[in-house]
Amino acid sequence: MRRLAFAAAGVVAATLLCLPGSTALAAGAEEGEVVVSTWVFVSPGMSEKRGCRIRVVVENFTPVSIGYSGKYRTILKGNEKDAWFVTTSRIPPKGKTERLYSCVLLGDTLELDRTSDNGYPRICEVDGENTSPCPFKARQVSNIAISGH
């Protein structure tokens, strides 16, 4: 097991244990859902401003291939610190894909923009076709608080 620690404002805020090659909560996934795991951390040995990273893993537990997209933001003490767009294509059943993003500062809250016309839950890809609204449930998992959940 690897131990990833992240610091916010110079204080260690939490420690997260991850099994190699898997996300922490995917084992409890339900058939027919997509699990989006978002982990915010600082790379070891780097300052928060230089080593801030956001790891996003999208896992498909539906019986069909899917494409997922979503507009996300992190918030720190009520102020938006980062915004990014996660997009994937053709994740097969029982498959997953991973993205790594840089961030400005560690946030204390994660938010999915559910009003975006370009992402979940308004639009997604199912078996290669754009579908609106998305027919699958997406479960958000993170090591920071999730707002609007």
Encode pLDDT of 34-61 as tens digits.
999 999 999 988 888 889 999 999 999 9
Q: Residue 81: give its domain's CATH number.
A: 2.60.40
Bond into 135 cis (ω within 30): no
- Name residues whose C-beta falls within 8 Å of residue 9's C-beta, 6 or more positions apart in sequence: none
Residue 5 counted as domain residue = no
Number of independent structural domains in the chain: 1
Cα 52 off chain centre by: 15
Asked if residue 107 belongs to a domain, the reply is yes
Inside any domain, residue 116:
yes
Average pLDDT of the residues in 6-26: 33
What is this structure's pTM?
0.79
| Whether the bond into 121 is cis, omega within 30 of 0 | yes
